[in-house]
Amino acid sequence: MHADLLAMMQADEALGWRRRPCPVRLAVSLEPCVMCLGAAMVMRVDECYFALESPSDGGAALAAAWRPSPDLPWFAPPKLFGGIRREESRSLFRRYCDTAPESGARRWAQSLLTVSSPSAGP
């Protein structure tokens, strides 16, 4: 299970469904996948901050194109902010790749190390 989904489940248990007096913010090391973005929408997360982009399964492009129904204005993805502490997160993924046994998860994590930041250009 993804760490961001676990965090949202714990927050849901603590906060419940009542209106919140302040924004709900989620900070994660990796761009949320579509499943986690869906959970964030249901949980009514206002903002999500992430470090590394995940081109293979990240949901930021879907969130950017999402147009909520006028009948359901509250059912919208959170505002996404990428690149927060990017190099620190990349270092954590690098350390994982250096110590983890060979596996599909390790190869996937290694692919994230080669992703350049969006502002880096072609």
Residue 21: exposed, middle, or buried by beta-carbon count in 10 A (0-12, 13-18, 19+)?
exposed
Question: Could you give the domains of the chain?
Answer: 3-85 (3.40.140.10)
Residue 30 · residue 89 · CB < 8 Å: yes
**Mean pLDDT for each 10-residue chunk of the chain (122 residues)?**
89 78 89 92 91 90 85 83 94 95 93 73 38
Retrieve residue 51's tokens.
């470090």
SS3 28: strand
Cβ neighbors of 97 (< 8 A, separation 6 or more) are 106, 109, 110, 113
